[in-house]
Amino acid sequence: MAYPYVSDREVRLLSTYFGDPKQRHIETYVKRGGYSALEKALGMGPDDVVEIVKSSGLRGRGGAGFPTGVKWSFMPKEKKKAHYLLCNADESEPGTFKDRELMRWDPHQLIEGCLIGAHAIRAQHVYIYCRGEFFEANQVLARAVEDAYAKGYIGENILDSGHDIEVTVHQGAGAYICGEETGMMNSLEGRRGEPRIKPPFPAAVGAFGKPSTINNVETLCAIPHIVKNGGEWYRQWGTEKSPGTKLFCVSGHVIKPGNYELPLGFPLIELIEDVCGGMKDGNALKAVIPGGSSVPLINAEEARACKLDYEGCVDVGTMLGCASVIVMDETTDIVKQVRRMVDFYAHESCGLCTPCREGTTWTAQILRRIENGKGTEDDLDTLMEMTQNMVGTTICVLSDSVAAPVQSSIEKFRDEYLALIRRGERVGAA
Partner 1 sequence: MSDVPFKNPGWAGNTGEFDLTEEEVRGDDFVGTRPLHGGHASGAGTMPFMLPETNPDAKLFEGEYQERFDKILTRYPDKQAALLPTLALTQELRGYVSAASMDRVAELLGLSPAYVRGVTTFYTMYNKRPVGRHLVQVCTNISCSLCGADDVVEAFLRYTDTELGETSEDGNFTVIEAECLAACGFPTCVQINSRYYENVTPSEVPKIVEHLKAQTDGDS
Partner 2 sequence: MPVTLTIDGQEVTVPKGTTILEAAKTIGQQVPHYCYHPGMSSPAMCRLCLVEVEGAPKPMPSCVTTVMDGQVVHTQSEEATASRKAVLEFYLVNHPLDCPICDMSGECSLQDYVHEEGRDSGRSREPKRVFGRDDFGGDVLFYGDRCVMCTRCVRFMSEVEQDTRLTVVDRGNRSVIDTFFEEGLDGTNWHGNIVDICPVGALVSKDFLHKARAWDLEHTPSICTSCSQGCNIDLHTRDNLVQRLKPRENLDVNGWWMCDHGRENYEWINQGTRIEAPLVRDGNGGSKAVDWKEVLGALLEQANGAGAVKAVASPLASNEDLGALKALVEALGGGETVYRSARAEEEIVLKGFPSLARRKDLSANTTGAELMGLERAGADDATGGLADVAGHDGVLVVLGDALEDQPADFGKNAALYVFLGSHESEASANASFVLPVTTFAEQEGTFTNVAGRVQRFWPGLQAPGMARPPWLILGALVAELTEADLPRTAADAFAALASAVPAFSGLTYDDIGTRGALVNEPVQLSGD
| Complete DSSP assignment for 330-355 | TT--HHHHHHHHHHHHHHH--S-SHH
Residues 171-230, interacting with partner 2 (CB under 8 A): 175, 192, 197
State the Cα–Cα distance between residues 320 and 268, nearest whole angstrom: 11
CB of 399 to partner 2, least distance (A): 10
> Residue 347 CA to chain centroid, in angstroms?
19
Residue 131 contact among partner 1, partner 2, none, beta carbon within 5 to 8 Å by kind: partner 1
Question: Can you tell me which of 139, 157, 236, 389 binds partner 2, judged by CB under 8 A?
Answer: 389
State the Cα–Cα distance between residues 141 and 105, nearest whole angstrom: 10
Peptide bond into 199 cis (omega under 30): yes
3-state class (DSSP) for residue 226: helix
Does 417 bind partner 1 (CB under 8 A)? Our answer is no
Closest-CA residue to 332 (of 288, 301, 377, 389): 288
> Residue 399 CA to chain centroid, in angstroms?
17
Residue 392 contact among partner 1, partner 2, none, beta carbon within 5 to 8 Å by kind: partner 2
State the Cα–Cα distance between residues 426 and 209, nearest whole angstrom: 52
CB of 232 to partner 1, least distance (A): 33
Residue 141 contact among partner 2, partner 1, none, beta carbon within 5 to 8 Å by kind: partner 1
Distances, alpha carbon 60 to alpha carbons 149, 165, 323, in Å: 27, 23, 12
Does 3 bind partner 1 (CB under 8 A)? Our answer is yes
Question: Can you tell me which of 344, 362, 413, 417 binds partner 1, judged by CB under 8 A?
Answer: 344
Residues 270-289, interacting with partner 1 (CB under 8 A): 289
CB of 187 to partner 1, least distance (A): 7
Residue 236 contact among partner 1, partner 2, none, beta carbon within 5 to 8 Å by kind: none
CA contacts within 13 A on the Cβ side of 122? 18
CB of 329 to partner 2, least distance (A): 32
Find the part of the chain contacting partner 1 (CB under 8 A) among 146-154, 355-363, 368-376, 381-389: 146-154
Does 350 bind partner 1 (CB under 8 A)? Our answer is yes
Residue 167 contact among partner 1, partner 2, none, beta carbon within 5 to 8 Å by kind: partner 1
Beta carbons of 211 and 76 less than 8 angstroms apart: yes
Beta carbons of 293 and 283 less than 8 angstroms apart: no
Residue 82 contact among partner 2, partner 1, none, beta carbon within 5 to 8 Å by kind: partner 1
Which residues are near partner 2 by CB under 8 A?
Answer: 175, 192, 197, 346-355, 357-362, 365-366, 369, 382, 386, 389, 392-395
